[in-house]
Amino acid sequence: MGQAVASALAREQQSIESLQQQPKTALGIIFHIILSNLRLQSSRNLYKQRTPASL
């Protein structure tokens, strides 16, 4: 389980790095923003699942 998560994170990091090396086209910037927002959203959801609702 942990290995699969680690490799998925590594692949995502590589794709982000390759995106950042590309010239900053409008489409690339939009894609990067969407990707960042998705990561923020998923980490917030994970955080909510881990913490009790009383917080």
Cβ neighbours for 19, distance < 8 A, ≥ 6 positions apart:
28, 31, 32, 35
What's the domain count of the chain? Answer: 1
Residue 47's pLDDT is 75
The alpha carbon of residue 39 and the mean position of all alpha carbons in its chain are separated, in whole angstroms, by: 3
Q: What CA–CA distance (Å, rounded) separates 24 from 32?
A: 10
Per the domain annotation, does 15 fall within a domain? yes
Quote the pTM value: 0.38
Between residues 14 and 55, the one the model is more confident about? 14
Domain ranges, residue 20: 2-50
Q: Is the pLDDT of residue 1 over 70?
A: no
pLDDT in tens, 3-53: 888 888 888 888 777 766 666 677 778 888 888 888 888 878 877 777 666
Q: Residue 37 falls within a domain, yes or no?
A: yes
55 domain residue, yes or no: no
- Its sign, for the CA torsion 34, 40, 43, 48, is negative
